[in-house]
């Protein structure tokens, strides 16, 4: 028995030693970089749920790099706000020079951002927004106008139905939403609800697909069992659309724009991953509202400006357009402005 106890103590000590030395490695690495004079940037990415997210992470890693004069400490929050809060606290302990945060949801950031402010570390928000009491808790934000993306997509849908002579009474939509509480979900859901009210479309249901292919498929399977009149699937990102198409085709139904003859139209957001763009070229995703993930160069420019003691713009919206292989709608009008649709070939 005593031998077992001794062995257990030895094992626990060894495990603790390994844990401590891996933590130390991170600190030593930062120390070396600081010694070389490179400013250190801690980036809390919210997760790796979609093709868009992978492209966004790559853009950040390529730009906030040693070749460009920065050391990047990357942390994947795995879609959990708590993990992101812990990462920010660790960055503060490590005394990084800048913190970049891609927040999973909008609410609940005041306390930790106040801690960063007290430590004198500028915070740059990317992609989704934070809803905080004091705008001075972050220095700058770079991202998308998610509601405008939805307004563009629904304007395209309205133009398509009008040109094709499809009456509003025939439109039955289901919405596979993103993560509830994320800016991308809030803006895209709001845009669809407003369009349904404005154009008189029937919104059958809304359920979160968590921005993933697996959950998108699961939600679509459930919708198909519950409703027999769905003819539009509005997916709040491309990965959900890929999953929804799998579910529709497995149920023996067809995707496409011919909704008066039984096809189900799928529309979505992003336009980043190969699979989704291929599905759009085949006409299986009828229209994609672009969500631009290339934040790296913009964040680098903000940090470069801060390094020079300059004041960067507080809010920076990335440019975005619509993609479709269907030729029915080549342009559409929104708030009196004419937008062109980029044709996929």
Q: In Å, how far are 126, 133, 238, 287, 331 from 343, measured between CA atoms?
A: 29, 42, 17, 10, 10
CB of 213 to ligand AHR, least distance (A): 11
Residue 92 or 186: the one with the smaller Cβ distance to ligand AHR is 186
Q: Which of 97, 127, 290, 326 binds ligand AHR (CB under 6 A)?
A: 127
Interface characters, 160-199, with ligand AHR (x: CB under 6 A): ------------------------x---------------
Tokens of 82: 């708590």
CB of 58 to ligand AHR, least distance (A): 14
CB of 291 to ligand AHR, least distance (A): 4
Q: Backbone phi, then psi, for 197, in 5-degree steps?
A: -65, -45
**How far is the C-alpha of 189 from the C-alpha of 175, rounded, in Å?**
8
Which one of 50-58, 108-116, 159-167, 253-261 is the stretch in contact with ligand AHR (CB under 6 A)? Answer: 50-58
Contact between 49 and ligand AHR per CB under 6 A: yes
Residue 109 or 211: the one with the smaller Cβ distance to ligand AHR is 211
Contact between 138 and ligand AHR per CB under 6 A: no
Residue with tokens 């697909």: 209
- Are the C-beta atoms of residues 107 and 82 closer than 8 Å to each other? no
- The DSSP code sequence of 210-223 is TT-HHHHHHHHHHH
**How far is the C-alpha of 128 from the C-alpha of 293, rounded, in Å?**
11
**How far is the C-alpha of 236 from the C-alpha of 255, rounded, in Å?**
17
Interface characters, 274-303, with ligand AHR (x: CB under 6 A): -----------------x------------
Contact between 218 and ligand AHR per CB under 6 A: no
CB of 171 to ligand AHR, least distance (A): 24
Contact between 237 and ligand AHR per CB under 6 A: yes
CB of 153 to ligand AHR, least distance (A): 12
Contact between 211 and ligand AHR per CB under 6 A: yes
Burial class (CB in 10 A: 0-12, 13-18, 19+), 328: middle
Rg (CA), the chain: 23
- Residues between 51 and 70 that touch ligand AHR (CB under 6 A): 52-53
Q: Which of 98, 138, 269, 332 binds ligand AHR (CB under 6 A)?
A: 269
Beta strands 322-324 and 337-343, pairing class: parallel
Sign of CA dihedral 67, 68, 71, 75: negative
- Contact set with ligand AHR (CB under 6 A): 49-50, 52-53, 127-128, 184, 211, 237, 269-270, 291
């Amino acid at each position: 028995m005593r031998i077992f106890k001794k062995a257990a103590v030895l094992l626990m000590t060894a495990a603790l030693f390994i844990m401590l030395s891996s933590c130390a490695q991170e600190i030593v690495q930062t120390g070396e970089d600081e010694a070389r004079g490179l400013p250190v940037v801690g980036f809390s990415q919210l997760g790796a749920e979609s093709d868009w997210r992978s492209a966004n992470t790559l853009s950040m890693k390529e730009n906030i790099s040693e070749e460009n004069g920065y050391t990047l400490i990357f942390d994947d929050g795995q879609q959990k706000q708590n993990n992101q809060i812990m990462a920010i606290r660790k960055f503060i302990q490590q005394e990084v020079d800048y913190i970049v945060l891609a927040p999973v949801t909008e609410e609940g950031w005041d306390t930790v951002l106040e801690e960063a402010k007290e430590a004198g570390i500028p915070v740059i928000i990317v992609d989704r927004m934070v809803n905080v009491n004091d705008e001075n808790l972050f220095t700058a934000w770079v991202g998308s106008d998610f509601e405008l993306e939805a307004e563009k997509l629904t304007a395209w849908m309205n133009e398509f139905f009008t040109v094709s002579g499809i009456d509003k009474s025939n439109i039955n939509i289901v919405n596979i939403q993103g993560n509830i509480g994320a800016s991308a979900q809030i803006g895209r859901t709001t845009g669809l609800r407003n369009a349904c009210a404005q154009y008189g479309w029937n919104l059958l249901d809304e359920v979160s697909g968590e921005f993933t292919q697996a959950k998108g498929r699961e939600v679509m399977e459930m919708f198909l069992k519950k409703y027999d009149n769905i003819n539009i699937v509005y997916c709040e990102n491309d990965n959900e659309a890929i999953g929804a198409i799998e579910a529709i085709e497995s149920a023996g139904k067809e995707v496409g724009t011919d909704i008066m003859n039984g096809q189900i139209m799928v529309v979505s957001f992003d336009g980043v991953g190969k699979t989704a763009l291929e599905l759009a070229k085949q006409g299986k995703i009828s229209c994609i509202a672009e969500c631009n993930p290339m934040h790296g160069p913009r964040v680098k420019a903000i940090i470069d400006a801060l390094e020079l003691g300059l004041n960067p713009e507080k809010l920076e919206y990335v440019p975005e357009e619509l993609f479709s292989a269907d030729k029915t709608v080549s342009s559409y009008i929104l708030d009196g402005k004419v937008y062109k649709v980029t044709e996929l070939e």
